Amino acid sequence: MDAKASFLESIRLEDGKFPFLAYHQNRFDRTRQHFCKRSQPIFLAETLDVPLEHRKGLYKVRVEYRCDIINISYIPYQVRPVNSLKLIDANHINYPYKYSDRLPINKLFAERGNSDDILMVKNGVITDTSYANVILYDGQYWYTPANPIMAGTCRARLMEEGRVLPADIYVEHLKDFQEIRLINAMMNIDEGPRVAIANVAMKNF
């Protein structure tokens, strides 16, 4: 592992409770097992001792770690409005682990123009926005890209529950859907921004 590389878990804390902590523990374990094979297990439920002042309301708990936890911070959370997306070629982006260094994605985000966020495309298939997985509704079912750039915890849970189906969604298939919704650990299926397909800028695609 690059000695400077660190990783993140962004965990939902709601009124003093972590409703989906098991999904973060799984990803945390997978990352540490890959990069820190001889390290002892760390159990997030035992490590995250929530201060009294953060036990009411909605917070994003940002856990930065390498083989050991570097820092834990508590950030009040509000959903950022996103009403439009711009398709961006992201063939060079590789993000199999949730690195804290987001420079390549931030560079693409800077190309969003008048749109609120980007929708990254790899080999003609849509993947993620700059900070969220996406799900798409065709009038009957919800679908999510089968091979996202970063497989998020909310996406994993919704697929496990059978509420969202994985599929390869090519750019030319976007017209078959009614809307795109953004999801991540802080935005459940009924909380994330909703973007009409008409508000996806498809220039150069």
Q: Strand 133-137 to strand 85-89: parallel, antiparallel, or no bridges (unpaired)? A: unpaired
Indicate if 187 and 155 belong to the same structural domain.
Answer: yes
Domain boundary among the residues 76, 104, 133 is at 76
CATH number at residue 48: 3.30.470.10
166 and 192 co-located in one domain: yes
One-letter amino acid of 105: I
Q: Which domain holds residue 126?
A: 85-201
63 plus 96 within the same structural domain: no
User: What is the Cα–Cα distance from 152 to 46, expressed in whole angstroms?
Assistant: 22
> Amino acid letter at 193?
P
**Each residue of 152-204: pLDDT tens digit?**
999 999 999 999 999 999 999 999 999 999 999 999 999 999 999 999 999 87
On whether the CB atoms of residues 28 and 42 are closer than 8 A, the answer is yes
Instruction: Give pairs for 76-79: CB < 8 Å, separation 24+.
Output: 77/12, 77/186, 79/186, 79/187, 79/191, 79/192, 79/193
Domain total in the chain? 2
Residue 102 lies in a domain: yes
82-96 pLDDT per residue, tens: 999 999 999 999 998
pLDDT exceeds 60 at position 3: no
pTM for this predicted structure: 0.94
Amino acid, res. 118: I
